[in-house]
Amino acid sequence: MVRNINGVQDYFSPSNITVLKTTDTSVSIKWIQAPTCYERAGIWIILFRPDNSTKIFKVHKEATTFDLTGLSATTSYWFKMTTNYGNDTHYVSSSVPTKFAFVTTEEEVGLSSGGVGGLVAGFLLLLIVVIVVLVFLGRTGRLQPAKQQVTAGIRTIRNTIRERRATPSGINYRAFVSKEYDDIYFYGGMDIKGEKSWILSRKDISLESELTRGRFAIIYLAQYYTHQEAITVVAKALKDEQNDENVLKMRAKINFYAIKVGHHKNILDFIGSVEDDIRGPMMILEYCPNGVLKEFLENARSNISVELVERLFRMAFGICNGMDYLASNKVVHRRLAARNVLLNKLLEPKITGFGPDPEANKDEEERVPIKWMAPECMKSTEHANELSDVWSYGIVMWEIFSLGDTPYPGVQSRDVPGKVRRDYKMKKPEQCDDAFYNIMLKCWHYDPRKRAGFSQMKEEMNKIFTEVPGDSFYYQTNEL
């Protein structure tokens, strides 16, 4: 019997909206979300511009503040807010949205001569302080960690400025995202307010056996004991030689998945995190018993059937759906390959291998997997984006339909950039049809502006597949 209810049994929108700060290009708002008996999936802010065009901001379900950016000076705007109840795939929006209007301020002008003089004097003083601090850190042996954090901050600012300048009109905006979103220090040092719904109790997690070891973590097979059942999961824990830097990396990955990624059927699911007195923070992830996609493909070569080929098409479609979801959340993968896709018990693809990169802040030269990279990223993935991920997706499609062959067969990695510049395209794999090979070719335009985005490819594939009752679908082709 239910003896008390924590909240109201109704779908309420945010209320008591107040403006914290208004500038010529942004406005900061604050609101109150009434307690409810229902699970919230997120908050949507729909901004209405003077020309009646709209822009949707998706906000974390626990947030109570947000900055609306990219606005024009001295302009009247209004927006409405709704709260979604349920989960990321099935939700109900609050029936009565909250509406609010505001006007941005006048465009900021330059400094006066006196202001410039004061700015120069302040800069010189700051420079002296920085020199003193650097000398102190150098003598105490703490210069290198501080240097890494400063470098990460400078890189974030530089990439943001470059991308804003380089964003051409008429191109999918999702493709141009600040690398801040994948930065170790940005997410590792994030101070998250309010309830952290992803935190699990350590007593509910039982480590069973070691599966593998990565660069800084150990992957365990584990059991997660809920109130109803025991679920087989994967626990990602730091190695024994953990230090402050590795703890920061692990917290960055946890915060990134919890705040940025969310849940999607074709993304390896982040279940939560726990704090272990000995191992420190641990990530709890979905367990995929059928392993790595590349290994599955290689093992399937001796058992080709109509059912297998049908499954290959569904795998390619599922990966496209997952990548479209990541791009919609401004997440750039940078390392998409069949080796970074896992298969669950239903052989559904689950994308992994993305997020804050522990090696991204090293001074050493980046190791780039040339055969999977777009031509603009073959030297560095620093400016990778959705459209470079699209190129890699075309390579993954080729891997799928060649049953795990290495791309550009017979070609050395060092020779790939030259062949790509000469417009070389890999031939259609034996198990692929013309429709999907044409999609591959659209991924492999040398000019990224000519490549189709994931949303466009998803719509094109949707027309090929036929849905059946439930969440299943099958491929329509005369070649099967």
Is the per-residue pLDDT at 20 higher than 80?
yes
Separation of alpha carbons 289 and 344, rounded Å: 6
Separation of alpha carbons 294 and 404, rounded Å: 5
Separation of alpha carbons 263 and 269, rounded Å: 6
**Residue 361: what pLDDT?**
46
Helix (H) or strand (E) holding 211: strand 205-213
Separation of alpha carbons 324 and 11, rounded Å: 29
User: 460 — phi, psi (to 5°)?
Assistant: -65, -40
Domain assignment of residue 38, yes or no: yes
User: Distance of CA 202 to CAs 28, 196, 277, 412, 473, Å?
Assistant: 37, 15, 9, 48, 39
**Residue 195: what pLDDT?**
58
84 has which bridge partners? 42, 93
What residue numbers bound the domain in which 282 lies? 202-286
Q: Are residues 319 and 340 in the same domain?
A: yes
Q: Are residues 435 and 321 in the same domain?
A: yes
Separation of alpha carbons 393 and 396, rounded Å: 5
Q: Are residues 181 and 126 in the same domain?
A: yes
pLDDT tens digits, one per residue of 427-447 = 999 999 999 999 999 999 999
**Residue 129: what pLDDT?**
81
pLDDT tens digits, one per residue of 319-371 = 999 999 999 998 999 999 999 999 999 999 999 998 876 454 455 567 889 99
Residue 341 near residue 352, CB atoms below 8 Å: yes
Q: Are strands 217-225 and 98-103 parallel, antiparallel or unpaired?
A: unpaired
Give the chain's end-to-end CA distance (angstroms, integer).
Answer: 55
Q: Are residues 302 and 172 in the same domain?
A: no
Domain assignment of residue 3, yes or no: no
Q: Report residue 124 as tokens.
A: 């010189």
pTM for the complete prediction? 0.63
Domain assignment of residue 4, yes or no: no
Q: Are residues 240 and 138 in the same domain?
A: no
Task: Give me the CATH number covering residue 350.
Answer: 1.10.510.10
- Sole residue written with tokens 């927006």: 79
Q: Are residues 276 and 416 in the same domain?
A: no
